[in-house]
């Protein structure tokens, strides 16, 4: 069953403009991916299964009972969608009713534009207007690089996934019910990463 109450093209465009266009020089242009019918809920729990890898981290298609793997490959099997996917300026957002892991309402992989941001639409308590649009923007913040490993002068730097300084920031973790828009200098430097700009993070030791 498709989710109800998903953002409209307009409401999502407005939120992405409010956040990214004004503060990071990143311009999104929201388009509908069209209708897509696919029965992903193979375990019948009415939630999208949240896959985790051996380190307990969220991932796509890394468990035998993955629902996300089948969903993503079915969606991108269409040649038109494959073309969107091979365009590096494309970002994708999939809206699902719920995600199977308690407390997880959104999901994405840093710098993986070829994988959709997953956003849950149903919550135990009602959310403020614009919450889903804001959560989509938060996930796009990860896809833009927050939480990625970036190569800085030959070293691998793990950037922090979230900005924990204040809940005014878009990249604050586990936002309970607000629509924060602030982008910090660190966010900007990570999302528009160029060699020579200072980014926070820890060096990943060589294996
Ligand atoms: Zn996050």
Say if CB 204 and CB 156 are below 8 A apart. yes
Q: From the CA of 173, how far away is ligand 1's center (Å)?
A: 5
Chain segment 181-203, per-residue pLDDT in tens: 999 999 999 999 999 888 999 99
113 or 206, which is more confident: 113
Q: From the CA of 73, how far away is ligand 1's center (Å)?
A: 24
Supply the pLDDT for residue 96.
92
Supply the pLDDT for residue 33.
87
C-alpha span between 56 and 60 (Å, rounded): 12
Cα(first)–Cα(last) distance of the chain, in Å? 45
Contacts of 1 (CB under 8 A, 6+ apart): 97
Supply the pLDDT for residue 187.
94
Q: From the CA of 139, how far away is ligand 1's center (Å)?
A: 6
Q: From the CA of 160, how far away is ligand 1's center (Å)?
A: 10
Q: Residue 4: pLDDT above 90?
A: no
Supply the pLDDT for residue 25.
81
Chain segment 50-108, per-residue pLDDT in tens: 999 888 888 888 898 899 999 999 999 999 999 999 999 999 999 999 999 988 999 99
Chain segment 137-156, per-residue pLDDT in tens: 999 999 999 999 999 999 99
Say if CB 121 and CB 95 are below 8 A apart. yes
Supply the pLDDT for residue 1.
63
Chain segment 106-137, per-residue pLDDT in tens: 999 999 999 999 999 999 899 999 999 999 99
Q: From the CA of 118, how far away is ligand 1's center (Å)?
A: 11
**Burial label, 149 (beta-carbon count in 10 A; 0-12, 13-18, 19+):** middle
Chain segment 158-183, per-residue pLDDT in tens: 999 999 999 999 999 989 999 999 99
- Among 108, 186, 107, which residue's Cα sits nearest to residue 150? 186
> Which of 33-37, 40-44, 88-92 is least confident?
33-37
Say if CB 74 and CB 38 are below 8 A apart. yes
Q: In what order do the strands lie in the sheet with 93-96?
A: 93-96, 117-120, 106-107
Q: From the CA of 125, how far away is ligand 1's center (Å)?
A: 20
Q: From the CA of 27, how far away is ligand 1's center (Å)?
A: 20
Q: From the CA of 59, how far away is ligand 1's center (Å)?
A: 14
Supply the pLDDT for residue 10.
97
Strand partners, 119: 95, 106
* Six token digits for residue 164: 């924990």
Supply the pLDDT for residue 207.
62
């Amino acid at each position: 069953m498709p989710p109800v109450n998903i953002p409209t093209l307009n409401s999502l465009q407005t939120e992405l403009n409010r956040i990214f266009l004004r503060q990071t020089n990143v311009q999104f242009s929201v388009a509908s991916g069209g209708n897509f019918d696919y029965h992903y809920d193979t375990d019948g729990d009415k939630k999208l299964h949240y896959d985790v890898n051996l380190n307990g981290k969220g991932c796509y298609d890394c468990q035998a009972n993955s629902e996300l793997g089948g969903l993503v490959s079915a969606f991108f099997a269409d040649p038109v969608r494959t073309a969107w996917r091979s365009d590096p300026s494309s970002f994708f957002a999939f809206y699902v009713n719920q995600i199977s892991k308690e407390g997880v309402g959104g999901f994405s992989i840093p710098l993986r534009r070829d994988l959709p941001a997953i956003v849950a639409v149903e919550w135990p308590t009602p959310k403020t207007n614009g919450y889903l649009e804001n959560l989509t923007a938060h996930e796009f913040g990860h896809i833009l690089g927050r939480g990625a490993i970036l190569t800085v002068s030959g070293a691998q730097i793990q950037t922090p996934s979230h900005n924990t300084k204040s809940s005014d920031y878009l990249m604050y973790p586990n936002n309970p019910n607000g629509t924060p828009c602030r982008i910090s200098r660190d966010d900007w430097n990570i999302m528009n990463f160029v060699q020579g700009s200072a980014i926070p993070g820890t060096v990943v030791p060589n294996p």
